[in-house]
Chains A and B, each alone.
Chain A
Amino acid sequence: MNVDVLSLAIFIILFAIFAFLGFYGSKWRKGDLNKLDEWGLGGRRLGWLLVWFLMGADLYTAYTFIAVPELEFTKGAIGYFAVPYVALTFPIALLTMPRLWTVSRNKGYITAADFVKDRFGSKTLSIAVAIVGAVAELPYIALQILGMEAVLIVLFIGLGLPATKLTLDISLLVAFIILAAFTFTSGLRGATLSGVFKDILIWITVLATIIAVPISIGGFSHAFTDIGKVSYQQLPPTLIPYFWTLALGSAMALYLYPHAINGSLSSQDKDKLKIGTSLLPIYGIGLALLTLFGVLIFAIKPAYNLAVKFNGLTTVPALLAYTMPNWFNGIAFLGIFIGGLVPAAIMAIASANLIVRNVVKEFYNLTPKGEATLAKWISTAFKFVALAFIFFVPLSFAIGLQLLGGIIILQVLPSIYLGLFTNKLEGKSLFAGILFGLGSGIYLTLVANRFSGVSTVAYNTPLGLIYIGVIALTVNLTVSVLGTLIALALGWRPKETIKEEELIKVTH
């Protein structure tokens, strides 16, 4: 195994540079960090390349390095649903985010819940949207922690250290304190700057490995032959509905997450946001290649054994450890490690923004400074809640965390995406839709897992296995529309609080 003291030394040196960049972020393009939109939206001054990097940091997370390759490794071709997911996500973002960006600039919104409150005139609805957004981030942040853990496991084994629960927990805690400290001081600026650094390391890792490994094992066909199962070469026809709904559900979900919306709103202008977003599928090519690590590993027996030992969680670091040189693994492991840290920071910042602006402020008056301070503390607390999530929610597969988050976050789709195109939905009905959507989503998840640890997010319907997020969203939409029809019959009429041109043009 090519993981040794040199790998560790490079890992630590690069981590120091990373931490420096995080702290330096507070001095970069200086703004008043005691204001929430300075701390949380980078002062809305990011150009298209930085938008691209920042949004890429949202997408290129432990989900990409750890969860999807794990799914490919354990279940085969179904893991490739992540590719159409990426392909579909960005057209959906390009339909919705420019409108949200514009109306936010015109009206001074910082979060999607700000918009929802104005659009539908309902405080209850905006509080619900904020809470759903923040809660949905928890399992997503937890997934990042699992990803960091996967790297540490392989690093420890390579160094001959015992990879016990105690040693892993301690190192995770140290990493988290550093993360919390730099998020606290630098906000989104720190995360963006260190995100660029992280992405460069990751691109180097992915491209070098995907060229070197297939050559060294004599082509992909070798790995596929070693697996010997058809379900890895193509999708079993019975899994097509599941594959399709996973891709579609995930694609609709991504830009509902507070961190993705936050990233979009931090763009300097709308054209930069659009260009940055339309180029994001390029990241998807990296994801598609990384997913194939879950196949390649079958051709390298010791790496395969190491991955099996941890149920596939360690697929990518194990493959690297047995195929690439020791110095390279120092770089690659750090890339994957901070690939979990940076998104976790961005997600925690976004959740904190939401809770402060749209929940706490509804009940207490806060000064701008008090607002920013509280958000910093909440973002810190959030990371530790997510850490606790891993310890208390029994899970048998990493991607389940992200897909659980998807079931939750999809419930705000009618209020946000549809709200960007129409005001002809009634606030209370949308709220009822969220409740029914969440209720059915959670209930179906419990039933599908027979009320024990979460091992699947699929529900068996007459049409075949379907992603529960899509079913729950259908329930939600039905309730929202029926409720609106009843309200209309009772004399409710939509109010035009936001003009169409305010969604399209910066008016001042």
Chain B
Amino acid sequence: MSNHYYVAMFIGAIIILIVYSLFPLYNKVNPQLLGLPFFYWYQIVMLGFSTIISLVIVLLIKEERGVKA
């Protein structure tokens, strides 16, 4: 697969998967935010991070580039 868009999106998906697989990092109570354990607010914040990754890839890397038509 020589298409930049799909390669980038695949890497993006892996990064997001890793972010949510780091249980030793985020599966804990402190530090809290507004009384919310870290376990919860880390996951919410990472939703924003995931959106930015996808959006940046979509906006910057066009699929047609790298296609031999």
> Which residues from chain A sit less than 8 Å from chain B, CB to CB?
77, 80, 83-84, 86-88, 90-92, 94-95, 98, 214, 219-224, 233-235, 237, 240, 244, 247-248, 270, 274-275, 277-279, 281-282, 284-285, 288-289, 292, 421, 501, 504-505
- Please report whether the interface of chain A is mostly helix, strand, loop or mixed according to DSSP: helix
In the complex, the chain A residue whose C-beta lies closest to that of B12 is A91
The 8 closest A-B pairs by CB, nearest first: A221-B35, A220-B35, A91-B13, A84-B20, A219-B35, A278-B54, A87-B50, A281-B51
Alpha-carbon separation in the docked complex, A247 to B43 (Å)? 12
Alpha-carbon separation in the docked complex, A98 to B67 (Å)? 15
A292 & B50 in contact (Cβ 8 Å cutoff) = no
Q: How far is the CB of A49 from chain B (nearest CB, A)?
A: 15
User: Hey, what's the 0/1 contact readout for B28-56 against A, CB within 8 Å counting as 1?
Assistant: 11001011111110011011101101110
Alpha-carbon separation in the docked complex, A356 to B12 (Å)? 37
Tell which of A80, A222, A234, A237 touches B35, judged by Cβ atoms closer than 8 Å.
A222
Instruction: Write 14 A-B pairs (CB below 8 A) sorted by A numbering.
Output: A80-B39, A88-B20, A91-B13, A91-B16, A91-B53, A214-B35, A221-B32, A223-B35, A233-B29, A281-B51, A285-B48, A289-B44, A501-B69, A504-B64
Tell which of B43, B55, B64 touches A83, judged by Cβ atoms closer than 8 Å.
B43
In the complex, the chain B residue whose C-beta lies closest to that of A248 is B17
A281 & B50 in contact (Cβ 8 Å cutoff) = yes
Q: How far is the CB of B44 from chain A (nearest CB, A)?
A: 5
Which residues of chain A are within 8 angstroms of B10 by Cβ–Cβ distance? 95
- Please report whether the interface of chain B is mostly helix, strand, loop or mixed according to DSSP: helix
Alpha-carbon separation in the docked complex, A274 to B28 (Å)? 35
Q: How far is the CB of A47 from chain B (nearest CB, A)?
A: 15
Which residues of chain B are within 8 angstroms of A282 by Cβ–Cβ distance? 51
Q: How far is the CB of B53 from chain A (nearest CB, A)?
A: 8
Tell which of A87, A235, A289 touches B23, judged by Cβ atoms closer than 8 Å.
A235
B47 & A88 in contact (Cβ 8 Å cutoff) = no
Alpha-carbon separation in the docked complex, A274 to B5 (Å)? 11
Which residues of chain A are within 8 angstroms of B16 by Cβ–Cβ distance? 87-88, 91
In the complex, the chain B residue whose C-beta lies closest to that of A285 is B47
A233 & B1 in contact (Cβ 8 Å cutoff) = no
Tell which of A94, A284, A292 touches B9, judged by Cβ atoms closer than 8 Å.
A94
Known: A224-B35, A274-B58, A278-B54. A504 touches B3 (CB 8 A): yes
In the complex, the chain B residue whose C-beta lies closest to that of A274 is B58
Which residues of chain B are within 8 angstroms of A247 by Cβ–Cβ distance? 20
Alpha-carbon separation in the docked complex, A289 to B41 (Å)? 10
